[in-house]
Amino acid sequence: MSSTRTRNILFTVTAALSIFLDQWTKVLARTHLKPLDSWRSVVVVDGCFDLRYSENTGVAFGMLQKMPGGRVLLTLVALAALALVFQYLRRTDPGQSRLHLALGLVAGGAVGNLIDRIAVGRVSDFIVWHYHGHEWPAFNVADAALVVGVCLMALDMMFDRRRAADSPPERARGGR
């Protein structure tokens, strides 16, 4: 199998799996958590991890929820980001598996939230973490995929810089 084909398969499978898990868990959250009062949580790990349904018409942490035309603008931003992801994927070296995985997670997360935004006008969030008495704002699987994907991209960039710094200059290896 060609390395370009392997790159595309890794990206596509990662994105599809992210989208599937995101949409499946959102259906479960809408079915089982939404009927509960918005203040009521299902405790998974006491003091650490709860499930509590909320809806977000804005972006991260509820920003831009009241912005006129926000749904259209956020949809266009997500589509532009997806176009950049695909452009970046095409330019990657076929051997950069970590980067292809990261781009698949970013694409899957973006599409997962885009589906919500287009279909119902808001994104369903339901995962709530607690840390030393502080509560992280509710998020979903798509958000987690985006964050992990961006972190993997950052790691990939750091490792690429290290490899470039550790490799001898082209002239020293006999090249021009």
Q: pLDDT at residue 164 above 80?
A: no
Mean pLDDT (whole number) for 71-85: 87
Please report whether residue 173 resides in a domain.
no
| Torsion, Cα of 107, 112, 113, 117 (10° steps) | 120
| Residue 124: band (very low, low, confident or very high) from pLDDT cuts 50, 70, 90 | very high
When divided into structural domains, the chain yields a total of 1
Please report whether residue 169 resides in a domain.
no
SS3 sequence, 5-60? HHHHHHHHHHHHHHHHHHHHHHHHHHHHCCCCCCCCCEEEECCCEEEEEEEECCCH
| Residue 136: band (very low, low, confident or very high) from pLDDT cuts 50, 70, 90 | confident
Please report whether residue 118 resides in a domain.
yes
Mean pLDDT (whole number) for 121-133: 91
Q: pLDDT at residue 145 above 80?
A: yes
Please report whether residue 175 resides in a domain.
no
Please report whether residue 62 resides in a domain.
yes
| Residue 130: band (very low, low, confident or very high) from pLDDT cuts 50, 70, 90 | very high
Query: According to the model, what pLDDT value does residue 58 have?
Result: 67
Mean pLDDT (whole number) for 142-171: 82
Query: According to the model, what pLDDT value does residue 170 have?
Result: 58
Query: According to the model, what pLDDT value does residue 20 have?
Result: 98
56 burial class (0-12, 13-18, 19+ CB within 10 angstroms)? Answer: buried
Please report whether residue 176 resides in a domain.
no
Owning domain of residue 43: 3-164
| Residue 176: band (very low, low, confident or very high) from pLDDT cuts 50, 70, 90 | very low
Please report whether residue 172 resides in a domain.
no
Query: According to the model, what pLDDT value does residue 57 have?
Result: 75
Please report whether residue 42 resides in a domain.
yes
- Give catalytic residue positions: 125, 143
Which of 59-73, 122-136, 148-162 bottoms out in mean pLDDT, i.e. has the lowest?
A: 59-73
Alpha carbon distances (Å) from 55 to 6, 78, 97, 114: 37, 18, 34, 14
Percent of the chain with pLDDT over 90: 55
Query: Which residues sit opposite 135 in a β-bridge?
Result: 130
Q: pLDDT at residue 126 above 90?
A: yes
